[in-house]
Amino acid sequence: MQLFDAHLDLGLNGVDWNRDLRQTVDDIRAQEISLHMETRGRQTNTLSLPELRKSQVSTCLATLLARQEKEINHPFGWTSPHTCYAMAHAHLAYYRALQRDGYLRMIRTQSDLKSHLQQFESESATCPLGFILTMEGADPLLAPDTVEEFHEHGLRAIGLTHYGANRYGGGTRSEVGLSLGALPLLEKIEELGMTVDVTHLSDVSFWQVLDHFSGRIHASHQNSRRLASWQRQFSDEQYQAVIERDGVIGIAFDIIMLQEGYVAGHSPQEATMATAVDNIDIICQLAGNARHVGIGTDLDGGYGCEQTPADLDRYGDLMCLPQLLEKRGYPAEDIAAILHGNWIRFFSEALPAS
């Protein structure tokens, strides 16, 4: 089984949470237990670089994530755009350091992706983890043209917002649309040939992005509002809009996006990985085929296995997905498309040729 994961916050884990991702999952857990780290997400991590390799993850989208927060007593995020800019560069430096030592490989072009996958097919046990650089929330962009600088550093995908509203528009848990600053930013993104990640947009912002941007779009980790009926998820109409633009949608394994009414720290974990397959079914039914859905786990995106499906303790548990899909009647070629092929096709088209 080969996996392409369209959303991993590796920089957040390595830099902000000071985890050595070269260690095993158990070693990281033991270290955090010994240090009495008891806040949400600590002692319960699900991934590390050895775990991803064991799980046959060939490629991922790795984030630059530095969200600006207005309040100074926040548990997450940064207080100024300048700090967000600096932290995005810290995540970039972390990826470069891991690449220097052979753990990661940045993928900038179609030819990079092709050669990387050729090596993975023949040398998966030693091949570095390939990553396409994405930005989750545009807070690190001091001005719209700052995206050109990050593009030179390898940025190939970007989402404008995260939680709440920022300088570019409304995100999750907000009801506002795009700001005026988003329009020149979208023009720059389209000019550079990057793809826009429509995950984490408010409903208003989502439709405005589609109106003002004619380039490639995708949804890296975006579940269905049928399963968890709050605004973080997409309606059928939003799914259909991404499908009509030939985008791919990644299914996330954060239980707040899979279980109706889930409240972190209070609700029992009732959803399972079969629920995630329910979400895959929804997209395939809307599309009439299996070409527009993939995996975007969002695992260890600020939480751990205390906030995953009940049968997911660590990343390797995803290896049951082929069997779950086969039981639903998916043929082998569709299973391969969902686990990696659709994202590979998408980025084989969306990345620059060379």
Which residues are registered as beta bridge partners of 64?
A: 135
Best CA proximity match to 247, nearest among 214, 293, 211, 189: 293
Q: Is the pTM of this model over 0.85?
A: yes
Tokens (6 digits) for 351: 């990345």
Q: Per-residue pLDDT tens for 36-61?
A: 999 999 999 999 999 999 999 999 99
Best CA proximity match to 43, nearest among 55, 18, 25: 25
188 sits in which H/E element: helix 182-192
Instruction: Kindly state the average pLDDT of the residues 133-150.
Output: 98
Q: What is the pLDDT of residue 165?
A: 96
What residue spans of 101-157 are helical by DSSP H? 110-123, 146-152
Instruction: Kindly state the average pLDDT of the residues 149-175.
Output: 97
CB 135 within 8 A of CB 166: no
Q: What is the pLDDT of residue 74?
A: 66
32 sits in which H/E element: helix 25-34
Q: What is the pLDDT of residue 96?
A: 98
Task: Give the separation between CA 57 and CA 241, rounded to whole angstroms.
Answer: 28
CB 321 within 8 A of CB 278: no
Q: Per-residue pLDDT tens for 186-203?
A: 999 999 999 999 999 999
Task: Give the separation between CA 180 and CA 147, rounded to whole angstroms.
Answer: 16
Q: What is the CATH number of the domain that holds 56?
A: 3.20.20.140
Task: Give the separation between CA 109 and CA 350, rounded to whole angstroms.
Answer: 9
Q: What is the pLDDT of residue 71?
A: 77
Which residues are registered as beta bridge partners of 224?
A: 234
**Does the pLDDT of residue 84 top 80, yes or no?**
yes
Best CA proximity match to 13, nearest among 212, 291, 299: 299
CB 295 within 8 A of CB 315: no
Task: Give the separation between CA 65 and CA 69, rounded to whole angstroms.
Answer: 13
What is the pLDDT of the chain when averaged over all its residues?
Answer: 97
Which residues are registered as beta bridge partners of 131?
A: 60, 106
CB 351 within 8 A of CB 113: yes
Q: Per-residue pLDDT tens for 104-141?
A: 999 999 999 999 999 999 999 999 999 999 999 999 99
Q: Find how far residue 220's CA is from the centre of its chain.
A: 5
Give SS3 for 197.
Answer: strand
Domain range for 195: 3-350
Which distant-in-sequence residues (6+ apart) come within 8 Å of 30 by Cβ? none
Specify the number of domains making up the chain. 1
Task: Give the separation between CA 81 and CA 99, rounded to whole angstroms.
Answer: 27
- DSSP-derived pairing of the beta strands 165-166 and 169-170: antiparallel
Instruction: Kindly state the average pLDDT of the residues 261-283.
Output: 97
**Does the pLDDT of residue 76 top 90, yes or no?**
no
Per-residue confidence band for 164, with pLDDT thresholds at 50, 70 and 90: very high
Which distant-in-sequence residues (6+ apart) come within 8 Å of 268 by Cβ? none
**Does the pLDDT of residue 156 top 70, yes or no?**
yes
- DSSP-derived pairing of the beta strands 129-136 and 104-106: parallel
249 sits in which H/E element: strand 249-251
**Does the pLDDT of residue 9 top 80, yes or no?**
yes
Query: CA end-to-end span of the chain, whole Å?
Result: 28
